[in-house]
Chain A
Amino acid sequence: MLSEKQGFLMALMLYSLAALTYIMFLVSKKLKLSTYGSWFVRAGLIFHTLALAMRTIETSYLPLTSQYEFATSFAWGISLFFVGFEWKYKIRSLGAFATPLILIVTFYAALQSSEIKPLMPALQSKWLFVHVSTAIFSYGSFAIACAVSIMFIIRDRLKESDFTSNHMPQLSILDNMSYKAITFGFFMLTIVIITGAIWAERAWGRYWQWDPKETWSFITWIIYAIYLHVRLNRGWKNKKAAWYAVVGFLSILFTYIGVNTILAGYHSY
């Protein structure tokens, strides 16, 4: 029977292959490579899901409580969103921009200790699972918005050719895709913050106490709130919006990795 570690390593290998074939597709422009890339990432997602399921069975709780568990779930979230976006929009070249992000986060997970530890009292709350699982969807969605925005920036610089017109969507479509991913990510991030506040009130006695993680989630929320305001009210679109989405995702990465490694606070699990 497949163990969690085997499933995770299979997923890591398949994501690596997917990233490689997608990038080769972008370079060589051979359509078949993108088909392989798509299959690799889907197979990777299946193994990743199995790995997470195995860990859940082993620990009796969802894998959302340590750096390793969140990282692997985060990578799974990006992967899930990518497969969904690719299926919906039928854009194969997106893989060349999204799979490296999946790979980076999966590698980050691989560098963390995967040791199973009993759940400490502070983490024994039903709010943990609502709070962290919505964070997976939020971060995953923002990651896809970032990938689409990088694609936008590159597409914008490329000369129009058969390849760009056949395999890279129009800039307006990419812009809209990024916007949709950000709206979903923002919606989820808001739920993350609200559920976190409810949980903080139950665990620490205050629903908001400017813990570094809270503060950076708030900073990220403001960054995307400004994006949505200027976009919806001032028609801020295209290149500026694409760069902004990339910066927004850097803030997400800092909130997740930077805060846990550099800043000390209540969220040091």
Chain B
Amino acid sequence: MKGKGLLQRLGFLKSMGFGIFLLVFILILSVISTILPQNQEVQFYVEGYSEYLAELIFILGLDHIYTSSLFAMLFGALAINLLLCNTMRLGKTIRKVRQRYNIAAMKKISSYKLTKPMNDSLALSYIFKGYGAAGIFKYKCKEGIYFSSKNTLGYFGSWFLHLGIMLIILSYIYGQATFFSGEVFGVPGERMNLEGTEVFAEIRSFDVSYREDGSVEQYITELQLQDTSGEQRQHGSISVNNPMRYRGYSFYQTSMGWAAECEAFKAFIPLKSQLIYEKTALNIPEENIAIALTKFYPDFAADSMNFSSLSDKPNNPALLYSIFYRNELVKMDIVKPGEYIQWNDYSFTIDNFRRYTYLKVNKMRGQLGAAIGGLLIILGLALTFYVKPRELAIKQEGEMLFIYGKAAEQNRNNSGMNTLSIENFINNKEDGIDVK
């Protein structure tokens, strides 16, 4: 009894109905994920939605659907469904392939009355062709019955397809579970450690190439990867769509911006000097003061409403800074690079602007599995839709010739041959071929 119960449960888990239920569930969650803003602060949902709806959002993890347990469980269940379905399907598929030469598994499609004995290979070919066995096919005789089959691989289409989907799901789950994400950024000459690894990256150069019309053609970073001793391990150029690969790590050209040298003084005595990036600040905690490079305008232009940059080339550079004292904004203005910025006893200079590059670094395992999965899906679909298995059998009983097939309408092709022409051919009424 226990065994039967387990089998029943397995039967449900492998069923198409369960698979479709999971797909519909995933579909609904996917739709919600594009309607409901994801990964927002708790307050966003509390204020934006009713109390009950907000609670439901948190319980089901709808605020972060793609990383929620529910979503992971659904994909896990789908992988199990596919695994069980495919395991059980394999036996059935192999049985189908073996039954190619089993007339009991076929249906009688048509019959012809023979006026002469018929055992000529040309006639057999002609009949097989007439019933859709055109192209590459073989026939064999088994116990006086002629069998022909083609596109047998088509039986495995659905199997490959489901295996491919399963591989992609498993590879994706594995990839997500072991995903590494890091960053490398800086101006040329900077060297930094890729956090959490023993890889060091030195930015050798960063260039922006322009077309004649002034539009950006490409962002190119020349990067050298080193080990802890500073020995070069890899060296190359990275641009958008052309990442650098090193031991599973991929370095992507993701972004760029401006950086400058910032110096702070108190009563003209130097306090601190540091490279700061756009939207970052030079902070002096002991003095409770900070200056932020709020925005850099390489080609500054101003009208009554706005500040803007006419291009991203430093034709007329200007910068917007913000000074914070005891965490409060105390001054904000536009100045030229290198110009003295004064607030009370403090003074600052922001100068020597350079472009910095920002590279995202990922290490995602399971990509090979996903790639094989993708190929299997394409192969599976091609086999399922366009490689239809066909089987035919010709059996002679006395004066009668019987044609058997798996599916009559599938085995008919558009060769233009009809039963009459086949009968004429067999009985040598039309073509004048001597059929013994």
Residues of A within 8 A of B (CB): 117-118, 120-122, 124-125, 183-184, 186-187, 190-191, 194, 197-199, 201-208, 210, 212, 215-216, 218-219, 222-223, 225-226, 229-230, 233-234, 259, 263
By beta carbon, the residue of chain B nearest A199 is B241
B382 touches A187 (CB 8 A): yes
Q: Shortest Cβ distance from B165 into chain A, in angstroms?
A: 9
Nearest CB of A to B372, in Å: 12
A207 contacts which of B239, B241, B252, B367 (Cβ < 8 Å)?
B367
Q: For residues 195 through 216 of chain B, which have their beta carbon under 8 Å from a beta carbon of chain A?
A: 211, 213, 215-216
Q: Does B284 contact A (CB under 8 A)?
A: no
25 contacts between A and B (CB under 8 A): A121-B217, A121-B218, A121-B219, A121-B239, A122-B240, A122-B241, A183-B385, A187-B382, A190-B377, A194-B378, A197-B370, A197-B374, A203-B240, A203-B252, A206-B364, A207-B370, A219-B27, A222-B23, A222-B27, A222-B30, A226-B20, A226-B23, A229-B19, A230-B20, A233-B16
Question: Is B378 a contact of A190 with CB atoms below 8 Å?
Answer: yes
Known: A187-B382, A210-B33, A218-B30. A205 touches B243 (CB 8 A): yes
List chain A residues, Cβ under 8 A from B360: 205
Distance in Å: Cβ of A116 to nearest Cβ of chain B? 11
Complex: how many Å from CA A197 to CA B374? 10
B-chain residues with CB within 8 Å of residue A230 when the two chains form the complex: 20
B19 cross-chain contacts in A, Cβ below 8 A: 229
Is B24 an interface position by the 8 A CB rule? yes
CA distance A208 to B373 in the complex (A): 14
> B155 to chain A: closest CB distance in Å?
13
Residues from chain B with a CB closer than 8 A to the CB of A225 are 23
Chain A residues contacting B211 (CB-CB under 8 Å) are 118
Q: Which of A199, A207, A218 counts the most chain B CB atoms within 10 A? A: A207
Q: List, in ascending order, chain A residues with CB within 8 A of B172's CB.
A: 208
B residues contacting the other copy or chain, number (CB 8 A)? 41
Are B367 and A201 in touch, CB under 8 angstroms?
yes
- Contact residue among A117, A118, A184, A229 (Cβ-Cβ distance under 8 Å from B20): A229
The verdict on B31 contacting chain A, using a C-beta distance below 8 Å, is: yes
B218 contacts A212, C-beta separation under 8 Å: no
Q: Is B93 an interface residue (CB 8 A)?
A: no
**Nearest Cβ on chain B to A255's Cβ, whole angstroms:** 10
Assembly CA distance A121 to B216 (angstroms): 7
Given B31, B213, B374, which contacts A194 in the complex, CB threshold below 8 Å?
A: B374
Bits for B265-297, please: 1 = Cβ < 8 Å to A, else 0.
000000000000000000000000000000000
Q: Which residues of chain A are within 8 angstroms of B16 by Cβ–Cβ distance?
A: 229, 233-234
A191 lies within 8 A of B367 (CB): no
Q: What is the distance, in angstroms, from A59's C-beta to the closest C-beta of chain B?
A: 13
Known contacts A125-B241, A222-B23, A229-B19; A205/B250 CB under 8 A? yes
CA distance A223 to B217 in the complex (A): 39
Closest 8 CB pairs of A and B: A121-B240, A118-B215, A194-B374, A205-B362, A125-B241, A205-B252, A183-B385, A222-B27
Q: B34 touching A216 by the CB < 8 A rule?
A: yes
B residues 316-346 near A (Cβ < 8 Å) are none
Does A118 lie within 8 Å of B213, measured CB to CB? yes
